[in-house]
Amino acid sequence: MATRDLVIGFDADDTLWHNENIFEKTHERYRALLAQYHDAATVDRTLFATEMRNLDLYGYGVKGFTLSAIETAIELTAGKIRADEIRHLIALGQEMLAHPVELLDGVVETLSGLARAHRLLVITKGDLRDQERKLAKSGLVGHFERVEILSEKDAATYATVFRRHAIDPARFLMVGNSLKSDILPVLELGGAGAHVPYHLTWAAERVERAPQVEGRFFRLKTLRELPDVVSSLAGQ
Amino acid sequence: MATRDLVIGFDADDTLWHNENIFEKTHERYRALLAQYHDAATVDRTLFATEMRNLDLYGYGVKGFTLSAIETAIELTAGKIRADEIRHLIALGQEMLAHPVELLDGVVETLSGLARAHRLLVITKGDLRDQERKLAKSGLVGHFERVEILSEKDAATYATVFRRHAIDPARFLMVGNSLKSDILPVLELGGAGAHVPYHLTWAAERVERAPQVEGRFFRLKTLRELPDVVSSLAGQ
Q: Is A94 within 8 Å of B151 when comparing Cβ atoms?
A: no
| pLDDT of residue A209 exceeding 90 | no
Residues of A whose CB is below 8 A from B63? 58, 63-64, 67
More confident residue, B181 or B203: B181
What does the pLDDT read at residue B104?
96
Strand, helix or coil for residue B151: coil
For A129, which of B59, B84, B98 is closest by C-beta distance? B59
For A97, which of B57, B80, B81 is closest by C-beta distance? B57
Does the pTM of the predicted model rise above 0.95? no
d(CA B46, CA B55): 14
In this prediction the ipTM stands at 0.93
Interface probe with B: pick from A33, A34, A58, A94, most Cβ of B within 10 Å: A58
Strand, helix or coil for residue B17: strand
Average pLDDT, chain B: 94
Average pLDDT estimate for B67-78? 98
Residues of A whose CB is below 8 A from B97? 57-58
Strand, helix or coil for residue A181: helix
Q: Report pLDDT digits (tens) over B1-37.
A: 444 489 999 999 999 999 999 999 999 999 999 999 9
More confident residue, A5 or A166: A166
What does the pLDDT read at residue A1?
43
Q: Phi first, then psi: what are they for B219, rounded to 5°?
A: -115, 120
State how far the alpha carbon of B13 is from the alpha carbons of A194, B113, B178, B220, in Å.
40, 21, 10, 17
Residues of B whose CB is below 8 A from A129? 58-59, 151
Model confidence at B236, pLDDT cuts 50, 70, 90, reads low
Nearest C-alpha neighbor of A186 from the set A166, A201, A169, A171: A169
Residues of A whose CB is below 8 A from B87? 71, 74, 79
Contact B125, B202 (CB under 8 A): no
Q: Is B59 within 8 Å of A151 when comparing Cβ atoms?
A: no
Where is B176: in which H helix or E strand? strand B172-176
Helix %, strand %, coil % for chain B, to 5?
55, 15, 35
Write out the residues of chain A at the interface with chain B, using a CB-CB cutoff of 8 A.
Answer: 54, 57-59, 63-64, 66-67, 70-71, 74, 77, 79-84, 86-87, 90, 93-94, 97-98, 127-130, 132, 149-151
Q: Which domains does chain A have, with CATH numbers?
A: 3-17+101-234 (3.40.50.1000), 20-98 (1.10.150.240)
Nearest CA distance, A57 vs chain B (angstrom): 6
What does the pLDDT read at residue B214?
80
Q: Report pLDDT digits (tens) over A54-70.
A: 999 999 999 999 999 99
Strand, helix or coil for residue A226: helix
Average pLDDT estimate for A21-34? 96
> How far from chain centre, in Å, is Cα A196?
12
**Residue of chain B whose alpha carbon sits nearest to that of A71:** B87
- Residues forming a β-bridge with A147: A122
What does the pLDDT read at residue B114?
96
